[in-house]
Amino acid sequence: SYTIAIIGRPNVGKSTLFNRLVGQKLALVDDTPGVTRDRREGAARLGDLDFTIIDTAGLDEGAKGSLTARMQEQTETAIALADALFFVIDARMGLTPNDRAFADFARRANKPVLLLANKSEGKHGEIGAMESYALGLGDPIQISAEHGEGMGELYDELAKLMPVPVEEEDEEEPIAEEWTDEEIATRPIRVAIVGRPNAGKSTTINYLLGEERLLTSPEAGTTRDSISVELDYKGRDFRLFDTAGLRRRSRIEEKLEKLSVADALRAIRFAEVVVMMMDSQNKFEEQDLRITDLIEREGRALVLAVNKWDLVEKRGGMIGQLRTEADHWLPQIKSVPIVAISGLMGEGIDRLMAAIQESYKIWNKRIPTAALNRWFEDAIGNNPPPAVSGRRLKLNYITQTKARPPSFVVFCSRADAVPTSYLRYLTNSMREAFELPGTPIRITLREKA
Ligand code: GDP
């Protein structure tokens, strides 16, 4: 859906605006740890406009009001995900250097920006609103997120930006364009290889291309920045996407390259299966989490490749340790396949390609309705949903609405009363029962008419 990121320095009222726009639906915001460690997302509504909103709040300003690297990264991620930006300032405070720094981000994004002068209730905000013209982000819209003022004007401006909504197809109907088993087995699998700079993405791709016949070079029609190549690996077709790895780079560029969220996101969106490449010499950290978050958010199948395995001396136990770490960091995609490889030596590549094919199959999986409901009854029986204000919550039945990734609707008595933790229980239980490792699983709730 149309996605808006709320950008601005801390304390300008971003979260208040987020809460106002998400309103009653807040209960359905996914608060899975990991998914939203750095940002909150919610289904927002303003008048008849429906959109997704991303809040980047929750981090403190660095020492002496400086911007922390994390804050910048978080803003960069939100901007990459968004179709348009709400840039929020505190109209009572006037502009600070940090406002200007964030405004630079917003301008460079080349996406539509609405400048919101918040805390403008009464006449308080006029000074800041006047000053804000200097940001070069257009006319400020004076709002008060807390008191709900200025929402009419915000609606008018947003309506101009948003595409005219098309009638959404009824999710309960099975999607018309269902892939046959034949197609799943034979179509080229679209694979993106992402990860931090120097993890060994290019090396691995070069190994693959060197071993096997390169069928075509850069695909026409894709954007300049994302290059793909077709690969026939032992009789199976793949299309590999990589944003940086396939480009020729000078040694110096290579060293200076930084992780670009926008690049990673582009590759992820092209792909069906994403290989997240890690360097066996590095620990799993923040930057990796940012990428895996995107993969989960975009609903792609995930394979973890631990590269430079040739450098690991004590191999015993390391995969087990990685498994524990991965399940901790990625609670929403438990049991991700982990493959140890050396792109340089060509070790483990067969297993990597097999894991990609297996994940792809799982990502395409349809579970027969009877088996699904048998599991559902058991899962509810073993661990009934909690009662809410003394009333028992009734979950009636479940149905799979689509694959790629496997997505389900649970019909229930009160959709807003089912805690996220219970949904997570169902997801994990389903993942185990039907052996669905490494794919996001979407379960949404619907009230029974
Ligand atoms: P990218 O930025 O992810 O594309 O990483 P590169 O493929 O450019 O690799 C970064 C550095 O790691 C290069 O110096 C590679 O030679 C080295 N490298 C890549 N894969 C391996 C591997 O499997 N083993 C070892 N020892 N070095 C590797």
Known binding-site residue numbers for GTP: 8-15, 55-59, 118-121, 195-202, 242-246, 307-310
Question: Long-range contacts of range 326-330, CB-CB < 8 Å, 24 or more positions apart?
Answer: 326/284, 329/34, 329/284, 329/288, 329/289, 329/292, 330/34, 330/292, 330/296, 330/302
ipTM of the complex: 0.95
pLDDT 10s digits, 270-316: 899 999 999 999 988 878 888 888 899 899 999 999 999 999 988 88
DSSP string for residues in 234-275? TTEEEEEEESSTTS---HHHHHH----HHHHHHHHHH-SEEE
More confident residue, 255 or 111: 111
Q: Which of 13, 37, 38, 40 is nearest to 28 (CA)?
A: 40
pLDDT 10s digits, 35-46: 334 567 888 888
Residues near 290 by Cβ (< 8 Å), separated by ≥ 6? 38, 73, 77, 259, 261
Residue closest by Cα to atom 11 of ligand 1: 198
How much distance in Å is there from the Cα of 110 to the middle of ligand 1? Answer: 33
Q: Which atom of ligand 1 is nearest to the CA of 309?
A: 23
Domain residue limits, the chain:
3-161, 181-363, 369-447
Q: Sign of dihedral through CA atoms 434, 31, 35, 109?
A: positive
Question: Is residue 348 lining ligand 1, measured as CB closer than 6 Å?
Answer: no
Question: Is residue 128 lining ligand 1, measured as CB closer than 6 Å?
Answer: no
How much distance in Å is there from the Cα of 302 to the middle of ligand 1? Answer: 21
Cis peptide bond upstream of 386, omega within 30: no
CATH class of 3-161: alpha beta
Mean pLDDT computed over 62-86: 76
pLDDT over threshold 60, residue 92: yes
Show the CA angle centred on residue 291, arms to residues 339 and 258, nearest 5°: 105
In DSSP terms, 411 is beta-bridged to 397, 446
Burial class (CB in 10 A: 0-12, 13-18, 19+), 171: middle
Q: Of the ranges 127-141, 155-169, 237-251, 330-344, which one carries the lowest mean pLDDT score?
A: 237-251
Mutation to probe ligand 1, out of 193, 201, 203 (largest number of atoms < 8 A from CB): 203
Question: In this structure, are residues 400 and 424 in contact, taking their beta carbons and an 8 Å threshold?
Answer: no
Question: Is residue 310 lining ligand 1, measured as CB closer than 6 Å?
Answer: yes
Q: Which atom of ligand 1 is nearest to the CA of 343?
A: 23
Q: Could you check whether 3-161 and 181-363 share the same CATH topology?
A: yes
How much distance in Å is there from the Cα of 201 to the middle of ligand 1? Answer: 7
Tell me the residue type at 90. D
Burial class (CB in 10 A: 0-12, 13-18, 19+), 17: buried
> Collapsing DSSP states into helix, strand and coil, what is residue 153?
helix
Q: Which of 141, 190, 5 is nearest to 86 (CA)?
A: 5
Mean pLDDT computed over 91-101: 87
CATH ID of 369-447, from 3.30.300.20, 3.40.50.620, 3.40.50.1000, 3.30.70.20: 3.30.300.20
Residue closest by Cα to atom 22 of ligand 1: 308
CATH class of 181-363: alpha beta
Question: Is residue 342 lining ligand 1, measured as CB closer than 6 Å?
Answer: yes
Judge if pTM exceeds 0.95.
no
How much distance in Å is there from the Cα of 258 to the middle of ligand 1? Answer: 15
Question: Is residue 311 lining ligand 1, measured as CB closer than 6 Å?
Answer: yes
Q: Where are the alpha helices (DSSP H) in 271-341?
A: 286-297, 318-329
